[in-house]
Structure 1
Amino acid sequence: MSLYTADSVLSKLVNILMRDGKKSTAQRIVDEAFWILKREYQVPDPASYAKEAIEQAKPVVELTRYRLSGRNLQVPSPLMPHRATALALRAIRDAVRSERRERGAAARLAAELVDIHRQQGVAWKRRQDLHKMAEANKMFTHLR
């Protein structure tokens, strides 16, 4: 039994990293990232480390659009746990695909997971920006 089929969060990470149906390539990227975490960052258990990073990258609220008097308002609303996980995984995927400078997808994934633990990185910043916007628009929560 594979590590990815046993844990739903890690299998979702593999699935969201997959391109053009190439799941084995996505699994190899995650395996290499775990190996890099173990070797370069001295992480004893990379799988639980990755799950903790995904938990930390989860947003608590999201902004939904609401049209009122010809204006589009952004109304903060709480997130269901599975939606929060999906948003965190997408933010990590986007960071791995485009916004990091390391060479190789596995190195970018490992560095992003470490940065999330340090409360830095692209996915963490996206979460913080979303929470900041929700805080700025909290006056519209009665429209939910």
Structure 2
Amino acid sequence: MSSAFTVRFDLFFKKFTNLLMKDGKKIKASKILFEMLLILKKRIKKDLEKKNHGPSSQDFVEIPANFELFLLLSQALENVTPNLEVRKVRVAGSTYLVPAVLSKKKQETLALKWLIESTKKRQKNSKLDFATCLADEILDASKKVGQARQKRDDLHRLALSNRAYIRYRWW
């Protein structure tokens, strides 16, 4: 793996840990993140084993599970990351929702926040621990389904429907 790839995911894990943290308990947040990575790694390994036992198992080149894990995480993050936001602008007594482009940093932060938020909702409805629910949500996000992806699609739909008000954008 390239060093740029490693640095990007190092920053990603730091950001994710800080967003998971509650009441300054960073060790607990990093433990949850580590457990989630182990769960994802086991599921990826299980999926790779299923694929290997097919008819062309001799031609298979083994891909390290860590690389597959990073690909899965980057795909999930890319599928949840919003490109636009809507801001309220007051013009002549009326309030309009004006679409605006997000910076790369804010895009990633919103995507991670939405993953955490949807995981909390998922955990309320099940008896699974947070790490398992987070792994499920990331798997769903990598398949372009799940609550976090739905939130992104709703935001993009809202921005698209309000594109007529883009002329009120002055920032």
Q: TM-score, normalised by structure 2?
A: 0.76
Partner of 2:152: 127
**What are the within-5 Å matches in structure 2 for residues 29-108 of structure 1?**
29-42=32-45, 44-45=65-66, 46-100=69-123, 101-102=125-126, 103-108=128-133
**Superposition deviation, residue 5 in structure 1:** 9.9
C-alpha distance 10-51 of structure 1, shift in aligned 2 (>3 A):
farther
Name stretches of at least 5 consecutive residues in structure 2 with no aligned partner: 1-5, 48-64
Question: How well do the aligned residues superpose, as a CA RMSD in angstroms?
Answer: 2.0
* Runs of 4 or more consecutive aligned structure 1 residues displaced over 4 Å after TM superposition: 3-6
* Separation (CA, whole Å) in 2 of partners of 1:60 and 1:18: 26
Q: Which has the larger radius of gyration?
A: 2
* Separation (CA, whole Å) in 2 of partners of 1:20 and 1:138: 40
Q: Secondary structure at the match of 2:95?
A: strand
Residue pair 1:58, 1:84 contacting (<8 A) in 2 also? yes
Q: Secondary structure at the match of 2:144?
A: coil
What percentage of aligned pairs have identical amino acids? 29
**Superposition deviation, residue 4 in structure 1:** 9.5
Aligned length: 142
* Separation (CA, whole Å) in 2 of partners of 1:6 and 1:89: 13
Alignment partner for residue 109 of structure 1, among 127, 134, 142? Answer: 134
